[in-house]
Amino acid sequence: MTDRNVAGSNNSDLTEMNRSAIVRILQQKMCSRADIARMTGLTQASVTKITAILIEMGIVSEVGIIKGNGNRRSIGLRLNAEDKLVLGIKFSRQMFTIGVFDISGKPYKVRQTKFELSQDAGAVISKMKKQIHDFLKKYANIVAIGMAVPGPFFREKGRIAVITELPGWHDVNFVSEFSEEFDKPVFIEQDANAGAMAEWWFGDHIRPVTTLAYLLAGEGIGSGIVDNGNLLLGMKGIASEIGHMSIDVNGPKCECGNCGCLELYCSAAQMLKRVRQEAPGLLVDGNDSRAEACEKVFAAARCGNKKALKIVNEMGKYLGYGCINILNAYNPDLIVIGDILSKGGDLLLPEIQKTVRERVVPEIFDNARIEISRLGIDSTLLGAAAIATDKVLRKPSEYLAV
Ligand SMILES: [Zn+2]
C-alpha cells in the first residue's frame, strides 16, 4: 500500500486528473475551451488536446456556438450526462430508499421501503439487494452505486460505529455485503458526508464556495465538510461528527460514551420525545413516520401553538450551537442545514441565526452564510448519488468512456 504522506503521481494519474478537472467543470455548466483553460490554469493547447480525447471517448460533446467570457463567441462543450446513470441508496433507521439519477443529479425513479426497527438485519439486506438487482437490470447505463448510511461509519471495517436504536446492525459489514454482490463499483459514505456532497455538486447556492458544511438534522445529527471538492474524512473517515460533540459535559450519557452530545438535544427523535412529554395532543396519529410527525409539529407552530413554538425554538437554539461549533472548527463560507428538521427551516433559521450571532466572532458570522437546503429532494439520497457521481467524475476514462 502506498504511504499517503509521500505518494507521487505518475503521468497516467496526471492525465486522468486533468480529464477529471475538465469533466467536473462541465458537470456544472456548458463552457468553451477558453473558459476551461482560464478556470483550470491549463494551457489552451492542453485543453484542446484533452477535450479531443474526451469527445472521442463519448464523454463530452460540442454544442455549437455559445457566448464565452467577455462575450466572445466560441464553440461550447457539454458533458454527456443524461446517458450515464448512478444508483443512490439511502439506508436509515426505519427505511431504505433507492433512486436512479443521472450524473447531473436529475432523478429518474425513486423507491422507498419501510421496515420495522425490530426486523432482522439479514432480511432487510436481502430485500435491498433484490431491489438493487432489479434496478440494475432495468437501467443498463448505471455505472456506479453510491450508498449513504447513518454515521459514524468506519470505512475500513465497513460498519456503522454507533447506530442508536438498531443494535442488530452493529456488526453488518456494508462494504463486503454490497461490493461482493454487484459487478458495479459500490461507494459507501456516512449520511452527512453524502448530504455535503449533494450540496456541493447539486446545491442551489451562490458559487464559488471554498468550504461547505452540511448539518444533517434528521433522525440523528451529523455534519459533513467539503473543502475545495474533497470530503474531510480524518483517519478512519469519521471526522466532523458534530452529533457527538458535547454541548454539556455534565449532560446525559450518550451511547457513544460521551456526555451531553448535541444529538441528545436536537434531532427529530429528540424533538418528538419532547412533544410526547410536553404536548402529546399534537401527535394524534401513532402511525406517522418521524418526518410526518415533525411536519405536524411545525404546522402547529406556524399556527401559533405555544407549546409547539417553544419546542421548535429550542431546537433552533441547539442547532445554532451545532453551527457555532462547525464555524469555529472548520471556518466554512456556507453551512447548509438539511434532512427532516429542515422542513421547519422557516421557523428554525431565525433562532439559529440569532444564537450564532450572539456567540461567534463577528468577522466569522459576517462572512459565513447559513441556509436551509433547497435541493427539493431527500439530500441524503441525492448525496448517495453524489458520492457515486464524484467517484465517477474523478476517473472519467474508467467509468464514462463509451
Ligand atoms: Zn454521543
* Distance from Cα 164 to the centre of ligand 1, integer Å: 10
Copy the grid coordinates of residue 381: 439520497
Task: For residue 163, report the distance from its CA to the centre of ligand 1, in Å.
Answer: 11
The 10s digit of each residue's pLDDT in 253-276 is 998 899 999 999 999 999 999 999
In the chain, the amino acid numbered 292 is: E
**pLDDT, tens digit, 9 for 90 and up, residues 158-190:** 888 766 666 678 788 999 999 999 999 999 999
Q: What is the pLDDT of residues 372-397, one digit of tens each?
A: 999 978 899 999 999 999 999 999 88
State in Å: Cα 264 to ligand 1 middle.
8
Q: With bands split at pLDDT 50, 70 and 90, how would you rate the model's confidence at 286? A: confident
Q: How many A from CA of 259 to the centre of ligand 1?
A: 7
- The mean pLDDT value of the chain amounts to 90
| pLDDT digits 0-9 by tens, 126-154 | 999 999 999 999 999 999 999 999 877 88
Half-sphere exposure of 145 (CA within 13 A, CB side): 26
Ligand 1 centroid – CA 321 distance (Å): 15
Which CATH number is 206-374's, of 3.40.50.2000, 3.30.70.380, 3.40.50.300, 3.30.420.40?
Answer: 3.30.420.40
| CA of 15 relative to ligand 1 center, distance in Å | 43
**How far, in Å, is the centroid of ligand 1 from the Cα of 256?**
4
pLDDT score of 160: 82
Region 59-69: mean pLDDT is: 85
Q: Decide: residue 344, CB within 10 A, 0-12 exposed, 13-18 middle, 19+ buried.
A: buried
> What is d(CA 319, CA 215) in angstroms, rounded to the nearest whole number?
9
- Mean pLDDT over 27-32 rounds to 89
Spacing, Cα 269 to ligand 1 middle (Å) = 14
Least confident of 23-27, 116-120, 178-182, 311-315: 116-120
Record: fold of 85-196+381-399 = Nucleotidyltransferase; domain 5 (3.30.420)
Dist. CA 338–CA 130, nearest whole Å: 29
Q: Which backbone phi and psi does 129 adopt, to 5 degrees?
A: -60, -40
What does the domain layout of the chain look like in residue ranges? 11-79, 85-196+381-399, 206-374
Specify the CATH class of 11-79 in words: mainly alpha
Alpha-carbon span 257 to 260, nearest angstrom? 10
Q: Do domains 11-79 and 206-374 have the same CATH topology?
A: no
Instruction: Return the closest-CA partner of residue 342 out of 377, 310, 311.
Output: 377
Q: What string of H, E and C letters represents the secondary structure of 145-168?
A: EEEEECCCEECCCCEECCCCCCHH
